[in-house]
Each structure stands twice: as structure tokens, then as C-alpha cells.
Amino acid sequence: MTAAIGSSEHTEAEDIVRELITAPPQDPYPLYTRLREIDPIHRASVGDFWTLTRYADLSAAVKDKRFLRDPVDMQRRHIKNATINYDSPFFQSMVNWFVFSNPPEYVPKRAIYGSAFSRTYVETLRPMMVGFANDLLDAAQQRGEMEIVKQLGFDLTVRVISHVMGVPLEDSHLLVDYVAMVGGTFDPMVTPGWRQKADEETIKLEPFLRDLIAKARKNPGDNLLGRLITLDETGELNEDELMANIPLVFAAGLQTTTHFIGNSVYSFMRNPDQWALFLTDPDGLVENAVEELLRYETSVLSEAPLRFASEDIEIGGVTIGKGEAIVPFYGAVNHDPDRYEDPQRLNILREDIRTLAFGGGLHICLGQFIARLETQVALVQLAKRFPQVHLREGEAPVWHKQITNRSVEELHVRLS
Ligand code: HEM
């Protein structure tokens, strides 16, 4: 059921979605709870899409192949009646992102990128990740303290993603500037000024990317770029696609994982009983602990209206009309009491989690295995090296107020 337009539930739900979009609070979870209670499938006129807050509904929606992607449609729904400059450099690059294609074209494209992020391949990176994490912890040991988000989350993630993609670490800062901008373009309240920044960063990146691709053509490495170049030469990809998708994948992987590592350490610091439990067997407990942390405090709370209905589709008893779009509220779904008992509690022994924090279906997160493994490695090394880690005295970390991403700005800890 959905609340009737004009009813008090519909009006209240509309206010909640507006608040989440325009003035996201430090803690959005109480708003998610209320929205799920009063209108779990809400037709949000503030952004021209339906919001989903129940696990069962989202689980059905992500698997439904009748939801398709369309970058023009997505942009138009961000802010109703916004003028879009389809000739802008950023938009021209964005339409080449493989994530906007649909079957049948999508499937082989996804397979190309997927090869660099398969579970088996990612597992081979484990020793390298452990080495990176230990280098960062060695440096921190000398200081006796660490700012987790930057000095562990970011510094580990940027090394891993640069390696996987074939971007020299010393050049990665150019992509990092781009990443800082691209996230904002997925915010439903994206402004014309932000779009202009997106264009500037896209133009700024072009010479670097052309040079990177030219070098890789001469000497393709054993990395994603090297493989993409080979495919380009057989005509399966073109230069515009390469130029667009290298920064896209880099962007999708960097902030999400950086922030998830920060959120995970902070979650443990707020739940010392769970940290104490984790310390009893970090290697044995870490896999399930990370699944639970993805549920408890994921870094991706929602996304742009990426899925639109190609025909009338029924979800949870509500018809999503042909041409209408849905927005998953992953944060809300993760805390759905109909799916998870005592959802506000961190319980690293929780069973049968089957997370939706990476979405699902055809478009399930490309980087899910790398994100999991990186976080597992970071937590295990931290636990083994610094079991006594604790928040710096008087420290009250501040959450970024965002609709799509969730992250603490800084997380200062003492290591002993
Ligand atoms: C904890 C870290 C991460 C979280 C919580 C996360 C979450 C998500 C979510 C919710 C989606 C949407 C899936 C859907 O629409 O069904 C997604 C898609 C995606 N993610 Fe991640 N992600 C993370 C890390 C990464 C990493 C490390 C990479 C790449 C290296 C990555 C690359 C992507 C890409 C390319 C897509 C689009 C896939 C497609 O549409 O085909 N993500 N992610």
C-alpha cells in the first residue's frame, strides 16, 4: 500500500523525504524508520520518484529486469524542470558510462569490467592489501595515533584502486579531484554551479587520461586499463568509452570504501562489547562482521533515480507506473525490523544477513568483493596490531550530512 495523496501520512512522508534531500540530519535513521512505518513505498513529488524503505520491496525491485537505466531520465528527475545541457562535457562523458546501458548491450560491457573485480581475482590481492595496511599502521605507530578516515581508509583504498586500474599512485590525485565532484552530481539537489564544476573537472582530466591511455597502448600492464586497451584494439570498446569509464570506476570505488572503513571502525568504537568479541578471533569473525557492518552503518544510503519502469510494475502491492523511477533507501532497508531482529543493534554474530548494501540484480555493485576484502584486511590488521585502539579523549566525530553517502568527517584514535 501507498499513502493516498493528501492524507496526513502522505504529507508527513513528503516532509521526511524533503528533509532527507534538502537538509539531511546527522542521524537519518529515525526518519527512515518513520517513513517505513507510514509510507514504505512513497511517491515523492519533491524529486519525482518513488522511495523504497522495506527490505522485501527493494529485494524484489533490484532483481526486476523491467527496471531500466537512462541518464537523461535520471538527470531530469534530479530536480524537476531543471534545464540540462546535453552538450556539456560532463554529460557527454556520462552517457558513455557502462552503468547506464541496458541489456543486451550492458551484459558484455559489465563482464569486461567485472573481470577486474571478480572474487577470485580480488583474493589474489590480499597479500598486497595486508602489506599496504601494515605500512600505514607502521607510520601511525610512531605517532601513537591515527586519523582513520584519511590515514587508513583513504590511503589504503587509493593504493588498491590505483593498482587494480593501472593508474600510477603519484598521478592518482588528479582522479581524486574528479571524484570529489562526481559524487555531488548524484545528489538530487545538484545545483547548476555543481554541474559547472563537473564540466571543469572533466575537461581538466582529459589530457591526463589521453596520456595514460597512450602509454598503456604502448605497454599494456596486467591491470584493468591494460585489459580495456586490448579490447579497444579489437573494437569492443572505443576511446570515448575508455575515457569515461576509467574515472567512473575509480570514483565509484574510492569514497565508498574509504568511508565504509571509517564507519566500520567508528561502529566498533561505539560498541566496545563487539570490538572485544572481535578481538577474540579477528580472522575467524571478520567476514560476518563486515556483512553486519554493511547492514549497520553502510557508506551508501541511497542513490539517484537510476531505475525507471519500462512498463507498469507491481512492487509490494503498489504499481510503479511505466516511465516512473524508484530510489532505494539502502540505509532504511538495512534497518528494516521485518527483516532484521533488533536492527539498531550491532551484532557481529548475526546470521543470514544477505545484505542489500551493494544493491542487487544485474547492476549489483561492481566492487563488492574488493570493498569487503579491503575492509576485512583493515579491521583485522588494526585488531591484531592495536587491540587497545580507542577514540581520542573528548572526540565526538561529526557525520557528513548527505542524502546519498554516510561518513564521519574525521575519526581520531589513539593506538594504545
Ligand atoms: C563499501 C563500499 C561500497 C558500497 C557500500 C557500494 C555500494 C554500491 C551500491 C549500493 C551500488 C548500486 C547497485 C545497484 O544499483 O543495484 C553500487 C554500484 C556500483 N559500484 Fe559500488 N559500493 C562500494 C564499493 C565499490 C567499489 C570498491 C567499486 C569499484 C572498484 C564500486 C563500483 C561500483 C560500480 C561501477 C557500480 C555500478 C554497477 C552497475 O551499475 O553495473 N563500488 N555500489
- pLDDT confidence of residue 1: 73
Q: How many DSSP H helices and E strands does the chain contain?
A: 18, 10
User: Of ligand 1's atoms, which has the minimum distance to the CA of residue 257?
Assistant: 2
Mean of per-residue pLDDT scores for the chain? 92
Predicted confidence (pLDDT) at residue 79 exceeds the cutoff of 60? no
Indicate the pLDDT class of residue 186, thresholds 50, 70 and 90. confident
User: Of ligand 1's atoms, which has the minimum distance to the CA of residue 110?
Assistant: 41
- Quick: pLDDT tens for 325-384: 999 999 999 999 999 999 999 999 999 999 999 999 999 999 999 999 999 999 999 999
Helix spans in 222-329 (H): 224-233, 239-270, 272-279, 282-296
Cβ-Cβ contacts under 8 Å for 57 (sequence gap 6 or more) = 40, 41, 315, 316
Q: 251: CA distance to ligand 1 center in Å?
A: 10
- pLDDT confidence of residue 49: 92
φ/ψ (deg, to 5) at 397: -55, 145
- pLDDT confidence of residue 82: 59
Q: 365: CA distance to ligand 1 center in Å?
A: 3
Q: Give me the mean pLDDT over the 87-108 stretch.
A: 92
CA-CA distance, 182 to 30, in Å (whole number)? 28
Q: Give me the mean pLDDT over the 132-143 stretch.
A: 97
Q: State which of 366, 369, 373 you would mutate to test the pocket of ligand 1, scoring each by most atoms of that ligand within 8 A of its C-beta.
A: 366
Angle CA 305–95–184, to nearest 5: 50
Cα 375 off chain centre by: 14
Q: State which of 98, 106, 250, 256 you would mutate to test the pocket of ligand 1, scoring each by most atoms of that ligand within 8 A of its C-beta.
A: 256
Predicted confidence (pLDDT) at residue 106 exceeds the cutoff of 90? yes
Distances (CA, A) of 106 to 132, 220, 263: 34, 25, 32
Distances (CA, A) of 238 to 36, 44, 229: 44, 38, 9
Ligand 1 neighbours, Cβ below 6 Å, are: 62, 99, 110, 117, 161, 249, 252-253, 256-257, 260, 298-300, 303, 330, 357-361, 363-367, 370-371
Predicted confidence (pLDDT) at residue 81 exceeds the cutoff of 80? no
Judge whether 54 and 162 are in contact, CB under 8 Å. Answer: no
- pLDDT confidence of residue 85: 77
Q: Give me the mean pLDDT over the 395-403 stretch.
A: 90
CA-CA distance, 59 to 315, in Å (whole number)? 10
Predicted confidence (pLDDT) at residue 188 exceeds the cutoff of 70? no
What percentage of residues in the chain have a pLDDT greater than 70? Answer: 96
Considering just the CA atoms, what is the radius of gyration of the chain in Å? 21
Q: Which of 180 and 59 is assigned the larger pLDDT?
A: 59
SS3 73: helix
Predicted confidence (pLDDT) at residue 33 exceeds the cutoff of 60? yes
User: Of ligand 1's atoms, which has the minimum distance to the CA of residue 371?
Assistant: 27
Predicted confidence (pLDDT) at residue 206 exceeds the cutoff of 80? yes
- pLDDT confidence of residue 177: 86
CA-CA distance, 355 to 214, in Å (whole number)? 40
Predicted confidence (pLDDT) at residue 411 exceeds the cutoff of 90? yes
Predicted confidence (pLDDT) at residue 238 exceeds the cutoff of 90? no
Name the residue with cell 599512485: 169
Predicted confidence (pLDDT) at residue 416 exceeds the cutoff of 90? no
- Quick: pLDDT tens for 13-23: 999 999 998 89
